[in-house]
Amino acid sequence: MIAIVLGTRPEIIKMSPVVRECEKRGLDYFVLHTGQHYSYEMDRIFFEELELPRPKYNLDVGSGTHAEQTGKIMIGVEKILMQEKPKIVLVQGDTNTVLAGALAAAKLHIKAGHVEAGLRSYDKRMPEEINRVLTDHISDFLFAPTEVAKQNLIRESISENSIFVTGNTIVDAVYQNLEIAKKKVSVLKELNLKPKEYFLVTTHRQENVDVRERIKGIIRGLELIHNEFAIPVIFPIHPRTQKRIEEFGFNLNGVTLINPLGFLEFLQLEANAKLVLTDSGGVQEETCVLGVPCVTLRDNTERPETLEVGSNVLAGTKPERILGGVKLMLNKRNNWKNPFGDGKAGERIINAIMSEVGT
């Protein structure tokens, strides 16, 4: 039996190809939703729009400090693992759910598999970096998305025999979910936008939105972009970001704020944008796969492949650098080669599991 532990919407997206592969093969598996970001009731629409089966278990741990949240998830996951006795626990990414799920499995001597292993920003101020490094070192199977990620693991003395280069499940997810989006949503029409005639923005990381000078720099950068290019700057604003902007007393001039979008709507907006500005790791990958230029509002990235192929540039949060990054990316041809695989990562992950631990 395979246990798939997830707790955030990005994890649902990136685990969707693995879930679909389990369904396709009729494997014995279950999904455990920790509710790290939202309760299952709030995420139910997410599973429905991606046409995924409902999770078997829901912990609804909610928010809290990193320690509180990680502890609650470990307690809940442990009880279910003791009851279900799966052969392997799969986690994905770098959240508190990932670390807690892998720790609970390791303490019970259940095999743990880390999907998207080996990513490194080398910035330990980021809680995500702590989570991904620790998870890699307690997991039995490391599903690295790229050769770069594999080499990161080998440099940390992780056995090469436990590493499988599978490609990134985001490629599978983008291809699969774009097809679903075509059938279900028409967000450009609803927002009165034309393809390639708007910029798209996302920012939510605490090291950006919780620091007054950094979020101020991002806002001023967006204003410079609007003044320079005179096309809409669309910003589906994260609740945390909106709260901080209001607390700091900032105004956004020339930026169109909209409510957070469902993944299918966001994916459609992303695929048709002229350029995307983001601090999200997943969005850096998605834009690379979609052939859309990206400017990352961070000083580092655990997705260096996007920089190497030329789909992305690091701009930090200084307004002039952000504008310069946009100009640079718009002057480049977007004919880069996608470094994240061929859209069969989910299949390779399940093949490896069946080969190593059976079903």
pLDDT digits (tens, 9 = 90+) for 83-99: 999 999 999 999 999 99
When pLDDT is averaged across residues 191-198 and rounded to a whole number, the result is 97
Query: Is pLDDT above 70 for 181?
Result: yes
How much is the pLDDT for 326?
98
Tell me the average pLDDT across 310-315: 98
Q: Which token pair is 304?
A: 């260096």
CATH classification code of 186-330: 3.40.50.2000
pLDDT at 39 over 80: no
Can you give the pLDDT at residue 359?
Answer: 60
The predicted-structure confidence for 243-267, as pLDDT tens digits, reads as follows 999 999 998 889 999 998 888 999 9
CB 189 within 8 A of CB 268: no
**What's the rounded mean pLDDT across residues 237-244?**
87
On the question of a common fold for 2-167+344-357 and 186-330, the answer reads yes
Torsion of CA 7, 66, 217, 317, to 10 degrees: -70
92 closest CA partner among 19, 39, 27, 147: 19
- How many CA atoms, within 13 angstroms, populate the side-chain half-sphere of residue 60? 7
Give counts: helices (H), strands (E), the chain.
Answer: 16, 13
pLDDT at residue 205 is higher than 90: no
Catalytic residues: 204
The topology under which CATH files domain 2-167+344-357 is Rossmann fold (3.40.50)
Mean pLDDT in residue range 200-218 = 91
What does the alpha-carbon distance between residue 182 and residue 125 come to, in Å, rounded to a whole number? Answer: 39
User: CA 75 → CA 82, 113, 128, distances in Å?
Assistant: 11, 19, 21
Higher-confidence position of 4 and 254: 4
pTM: 0.86
Q: Which of 304, 307, 309 is nearest to 325 (CA)?
A: 307
- Give me the residue spans of the domains in the chain: 2-167+344-357, 186-330
Residue in the block written with tokens 């093969």: 25
Residues in a beta bridge with 90: 4, 113
Average pLDDT, the chain: 94
| Euclidean distance between CA atoms 16 and 254, whole angstroms | 36
3-state secondary structure of 73: helix
Instruction: Say whether 3 sits in a helix, a strand or coil.
Output: strand
